[in-house]
Amino acid sequence: MHFSINWLDFTPGASLIGGMLIGLAASILVIFRGKVAGISGIVAGLMETGSLSQGHHRWRVMFLIGLVGSSFVYQLFAPLPVINIEASKSTLIIAGLLVGFGTRMGSGCTSGHGICGLSRLSTRSLIATISFMLAGFIACYLFLHTI
């Protein structure tokens, strides 16, 4: 096992600025809407029915329209960066099921726990973030280097 950095693909500047935009978006949502920008929770909340608070679905739909439409807006200013999905269709299905089930069981994903939770200094989110990062490293190693 050796350790080396991929300097060619490393984009500290763009990633830092992109990250700051994500932080800005999360701030806007909590300040003006009182909600946490956790994508898995926002999506899953759309499937809830029954006695829900007023506007339960409305803010989720508005946020998701912005998110899903972002590539269109980006392309008005610059060509869209490459999106390289190497996984096969069956791998994507397994991965999607794991991500869907896992984020609901763990109450959050990279955005809700990794960004919002850590920004709030939540111990719960720190444990979640360490758990999914660790599982990600191990699964990646097993998937790419052993199978």
Partner 1 sequence: MKNILTLLSGLIFGLGLILSGMTNPAKVIGFLDITGLWDPSLIFVMIGAISIAFFGFKLVKNKSQTVFDEPIHLPGKAHISKELVIGSLLFGAGWALAGFCPGPALVALGAGYKKAFIFVIALIVGMYVHDHLFKACKKTNLH
Binding positions for partner 1, 31-90, rule CB under 8 A: 31-37, 39-40, 43-44, 47-48, 55, 58-59, 62-74, 80-87, 89
Least distance in Å: CB of 126 to partner 1?
9
Least distance in Å: CB of 90 to partner 1?
9
Least distance in Å: CB of 51 to partner 1?
16
What's the token pair of residue 28?
């806007």
Rounded Cα–Cα distance for residues 105 and 99 (Å)? 10
Residue that the structure tokens 């029915």 belong to: 49
Angle made by CA atoms 142, 96, 42, in degrees to the nearest 5: 130
Residue that the structure tokens 């199978």 belong to: 147
Tell me if 95 sits within 8 A of 87, measured CB to CB. yes
Q: Which of 99, 120, 124, 118 is nearest to 109 (CA)?
A: 99
Q: Report if residue 92 touches partner 1, rule: CB under 8 A.
A: yes
Site string for partner 1, 95-134 (x = CB under 8 A): xxxxxxxxxxxxx-xxx-xxxxxxxxxxxxx-xxx-xxxx
Rounded Cα–Cα distance for residues 122 and 105 (Å)? 18
Least distance in Å: CB of 76 to partner 1?
11
Q: Which of 89, 93, 102 is nearest to 131 (CA)?
A: 102
Comparison of 30 and 51: residue with beta carbon closer to partner 1: 30
Least distance in Å: CB of 14 to partner 1?
6
